[in-house]
Structure 1
Amino acid sequence: MRATVLLGIAVAALVAATVGNTAATRTPPAAPANFTSVLSQVKGLKAADRTAKLHELAAKEGQINLYTSLSSTVTKPLQSAWAAAYPDVKLNLYRASSEDVTARVLAEVSAGTSGADIIETNGTNMLIFQHKANVLIPYQKSPFASVIPRKYRFDTFTADRLEEFVVAWNTNLVKTPPKSFQELATSKWAGKLSVEPTDSDWFAQLYMYFTQQAKKKMTTKQADAMFAGILRNAQLVNGHTNQSTLLAAGQYSVVVSGHAQSLEQLQSKKAPVAFGPPFVTPVIERPQGIGISYRLPHPAAALLFYDWMLRGNGGGQTILLNNGVQPANPYLADNAFASHPFTVEMDLRPIVAHYAQWQKKYESFTRLGKS
C-alpha cells in the first residue's frame, strides 16, 4: 500500500513541478496538418452530415486511442456502446488512475512520441496540460459542445462529466453517519477514515471554502487544526475506485473524499455503501475534461469520438448517466443528487495557478495519516 501511495504523491509532485507556482500560459504550436486537413473536410457541415463524414474518414483510419481515468466499471459499457455505433473504428483503451494517465501523457510528450488521440481525465490535470501548451490542441468547435455550460468549456478541452467528491460510509459499520467535516476531526472517528493522498485540488477548494466562503469562516489556524485532525484519523489509500472497493469490504468506516461514480457503481451491486442524503457538505464538484492530443495518429476518429462523448441521445453523455456518472450536460441529471445537496464548484484556474503551493500544503497534512 505504501509504495502505491508514494507513487501517487510522486506523480502529483511531477505535475506541480510541471506547472510551477504561476502556471503562465505558453503560446501553443500550430495544430498538426493531419488534424487541420480533417477539419477542412467537415467545415460548414450540419451536425448529422459532419458525423457521417467523420465516420467515413475514421473508418479508413480504423481505430482510435483513448487515454482515460474513467472507472473500469464505466469504460466497459462505453466501449460496448461505441462498438455498436461505430464497429469499423476500434476503440483502443488505456484506462488508469488520473496520476498514471498524467504520467504517461507527460512521458510521451517529453519523448515526442505518438500515443493518445483523445485524453480524458480530471479537469485540474487537463488545465495543467493546457498551460503546458504542447499536449492538447486548442479546439472549441464541436457542434455538440454548445450544450455544455460555458464555464466548463476551456481553450483545449471541454468537460464531459462532473466528479462529485462526497463523504461516504460503510452502512454495516456506521449506524449514525457523520454530519460535518469538523466531526470527522474528532476522536470518535480515530482510525476509521480513509483519505486519498493526491487529492490536492479537492483539498484546496475545501480549504478555500472554509476560510473564505463559508457563512461562519474559519481562521487558517482553525482550518489547519480540522484537516490535521481528519488526517490523524485516516488511512491513506491511493486511487478512488480502489478506495471505494475497500470501503465496501469494511477496511475502514468512512471515505472523506470519495468519488460518487465509483460509489454508485458499488451501490448498483448492493454493496453496503452510502453518501447521503443527508450529505456531509459541501460536496465538491470538479469538471472532468476531454481533449485532443497534439500527437494524434487518428484525427478523424479523434474528432468523431470527441463529438460522440458530448452527445446525448445514445452518445457518451447518455452512457455516462446510465452508469452512475454525472454528465456535464446540465439536462441529464444524476438522481443520486436529486436532493440538491449544498455543492461548491471547483475553481480550477486559481488552484492550478498555485498548484505547487496547494500540493505542498496538502502533503503537510497527509504526512499525519497512516499508509
Structure 2
Amino acid sequence: MTRRGLFELFVPSTLFRTDLARIAYRSVRADERGKQMKRLFIAMTLVVLQWQLPAIAQTGKAMTVAELAAYNKPDREKVLYEGAKKEGKLMWYTSLTGGPNTDAPKVFEAKYSGVAMEVYRGDSDALISRITQEAQAKRYIVDTIETTFPILKVLQELKLLAPYFSPHLAQYPDDVKEKSSQGLVYWATDRESYIGLAYNTNAVQGAAVPKNFEDLLKPELKGKIGFAITDTGARVIAAMLTSKGSEFVQKLKSQQISLHSVSGRAILDMVISGELGVSPTVFLSHSRVSISKGAPIKWVPMDLVPTNAGGVAIPANAPHPHAALLFGDFLLSPDGQKFLSKYGLDSAVNKPDFKRFYAEAGMTAEKYEKENEKWEKLLREIGRK
C-alpha cells in the first residue's frame, strides 16, 4: 500500500481534505526517506486517531446500548454528556411521588444543560403495563426507569433491561445491587424507605410502649393498633412471619386490630390525631417530617424493618442511551443522593442501626406475587375494618 493509501486508511476523507492533512501528506511525500518527515507522519496519524476515536464514542454510532452501558473509561461522564446533548432529550419513568418526580428535571437540566427531561409517573401496575406494551409494539419511549424491585424483577425476566456500569456502584453494598456479570448490574438501589412502628406519645406511655413485635401483644394496646392494608401492611406481615412465625401473627387477632384502606402517610395522621394509639405500618420518612413540626409521636424500628426500595435501571432499547445512562449515574451519585434525601428518602449507602428486611429478596416476580397475596390474606384475617 502507498503512503497516501495508508494515510487515508487512518484519516477519513473529510479530514484528509483539510489544509493540515494535505500539508502533512505533501511533507511526507517530499522526502520519503527523511527521518524527520517520518516522525511527522506518525505523529500526525496518532493525533488524528486520538481525535477521532472519542468522537465515535460520543456520537454513539459505533456502540450499541449494551456497549455504551458497559463503558467504564475515565471520560465516561464527558462521553455521555456530549452524546446526550446530541440526543437532546430524556424520558424518565418512575413510581416516585411527593416531589422528586417533579423536581428532578429542574436539577438535572441545570447540571446538564442542553438535555431536556420529561417524566412519566405511575404506580406499579401503570408502569409495568406501559413499559411492556411499548416493548411489544417496538415503540421504545422510556430511557431511564426508577421504581421498586418487584417491577424491575419482571422487566429483568422479560429481558427488557440492559446491564450497566456506573462509577458510583462501588460505594453501594452488594445486597442493594442486582448483579449481572463483568461488574455490571441490572439495577442499583437509589433510595429506601423504612417501615416501623409509630405511637402517639400522649396515648401510649411507659411500659406500654412497644419495642419489638412481641410487645404488640401487651394488654394495654388492645383496640389501639391499626394497620394500613396496602403493600405496606403486607410487607409488615411478611417481616413478622420471618422473625416470629405464623403462630405469633395469629395471636394478634386477640388485639382487636383495625384495618384501614389508606396510605402510609394517612395512617400516621391517624396516630397523630389520637384515633390510633399505635401503627406498625408507618414510614420513617413521614415520621421525621411530622416530628419536626411538633407532632406527638415517636417512631420505633421493630425486629425487622420492612424496606421499600427503588432501583435505577436502563431499558435494553433506550432511544436516548447517553442521556439515559447520564441520568442513572446522577441518581446514584452523591449529588443525586443528596437531592433525594431532601424528600425524606434514605440512601442505601448508609448503614442504619436496625436490620433491613427486603420482602422480595431471592424471589422471582411470580413467586413474590403469590407470597404477597398470602400476606394480604393473613392481614385481613387478623384484623377488622
Distance 2:346 2:134 in 1: 30
Match of 1:83? 109
Instruction: Please report how far the alpha carbon of residue 348 of structure 1 lies from its aligned counterpart in structure 2 after TM superposition.
Output: 0.8
Match of 2:164? 140
Give the number of equivalent residue pairs. 315
2:77 equivalent to 1:55: no
Distance 2:210 2:146 in 1: 33
Match of 1:263? 287
Instruction: Please report how far the alpha carbon of residue 346 of structure 1 lies from its aligned counterpart in structure 2 after TM superposition.
Output: 4.8
Instruction: Please report how far the alpha carbon of residue 311 of structure 1 lies from its aligned counterpart in structure 2 after TM superposition.
Output: 0.8
Match of 1:7? none
Match of 1:285? 307
Instruction: Please report how far the alpha carbon of residue 142 of structure 1 lies from its aligned counterpart in structure 2 after TM superposition.
Output: 1.7
Shift in CA distance, 210/166, structure 1 to aligned 2, threshold 3 Å: same
Normalising by structure 1, report the TM-score: 0.71
Question: What is the aligned counterpart of 2:155 among 129, 146, 156?
Answer: 129
Match of 1:236? 260
Residues 304 and 355 of structure 2 are in contact (CA less than 8 Å); yes or no, is this contact kept in structure 1?
Answer: yes
Match of 2:196? 166
Instruction: Please report how far the alpha carbon of residue 264 of structure 1 lies from its aligned counterpart in structure 2 after TM superposition.
Output: 2.8
Structure 1 segment 1-371 matched on structure 2, within 5 A: 36-37=63-64, 40=67, 46-47=73-74, 49-109=75-135, 112-134=138-160, 137-154=161-178, 155=180, 156-171=186-201, 173-175=203-205, 177-185=209-217, 188-190=221-223, 192-199=225-232, 200-211=234-245, 220=246, 222-226=247-251, 228=253, 233-245=257-269, 247-248=271-272, 252-276=276-300, 279-312=301-334, 315-330=335-350, 337=352, 340-344=353-357, 346=359, 348-350=361-363, 352=365, 354-368=367-381, 369-370=383-384
Amino acid at match of 1:206: M
Shift in CA distance, 91/259, structure 1 to aligned 2, threshold 3 Å: farther
Residues 95 and 123 of structure 2 are in contact (CA less than 8 Å); yes or no, is this contact kept in structure 1?
Answer: yes
Shift in CA distance, 43/290, structure 1 to aligned 2, threshold 3 Å: closer
> What are the Cα deviations for residues 267-293 of structure 1, in whole angstroms up to 9, with x where unaligned?
4444444313xx333223354311112
Three-state SS of the structure 2 residue aligned to 1:93 is strand
- Which structure features the higher share of helix residues? 2
Instruction: Please report how far the alpha carbon of residue 82 of structure 1 lies from its aligned counterpart in structure 2 after TM superposition.
Output: 1.9
Instruction: Please report how far the alpha carbon of residue 349 of structure 1 lies from its aligned counterpart in structure 2 after TM superposition.
Output: 0.9
Instruction: Please report how far the alpha carbon of residue 318 of structure 1 lies from its aligned counterpart in structure 2 after TM superposition.
Output: 2.0
Q: Which runs of 5+ in 2 are unaligned?
A: 1-59, 181-185
Residues 166 and 257 of structure 1 are in contact (CA less than 8 Å); yes or no, is this contact kept in structure 2?
Answer: yes
Distance 2:320 2:340 in 1: 24
Tell me which of the two structures has the higher relative contact order, counting C-alpha pairs closer than 8 angstroms and 6 or more residues apart. Answer: 1
Q: Which runs of 5+ in 1 are unaligned?
A: 1-32, 212-219
Kindly, what percent of the aligned residue pairs are identical?
23
What's the C-alpha RMSD, in Å, of the aligned pairs? 3.4
Residues 91 and 119 of structure 2 are in contact (CA less than 8 Å); yes or no, is this contact kept in structure 1?
Answer: yes
Three-state SS of the structure 1 residue aligned to 2:92 is strand
Distance 2:62 2:294 in 1: 45
Residues 71 and 165 of structure 2 are in contact (CA less than 8 Å); yes or no, is this contact kept in structure 1?
Answer: no
Residues 237 and 375 of structure 2 are in contact (CA less than 8 Å); yes or no, is this contact kept in structure 1?
Answer: yes
Instruction: Please report how far the alpha carbon of residue 121 of structure 1 lies from its aligned counterpart in structure 2 after TM superposition.
Output: 1.7
Three-state SS of the structure 2 residue aligned to 1:326 is coil
Instruction: Please report how far the alpha carbon of residue 305 of structure 1 lies from its aligned counterpart in structure 2 after TM superposition.
Output: 0.5
Shift in CA distance, 227/82, structure 1 to aligned 2, threshold 3 Å: farther
Residues 138 and 157 of structure 1 are in contact (CA less than 8 Å); yes or no, is this contact kept in structure 2?
Answer: no
Normalising by structure 2, report the TM-score: 0.68
Distance 1:66 1:35 in 2: 25
Three-state SS of the structure 1 residue aligned to 2:171 is coil
Residues 169 and 254 of structure 1 are in contact (CA less than 8 Å); yes or no, is this contact kept in structure 2?
Answer: yes
Distance 1:249 1:114 in 2: 47
Distance 1:248 1:35 in 2: 58
Residues 200 and 277 of structure 2 are in contact (CA less than 8 Å); yes or no, is this contact kept in structure 1?
Answer: yes
> What are the Cα deviations for residues 107-129 of structure 1, in whole angstroms up to 9, with x where unaligned?
54455543432221222332233
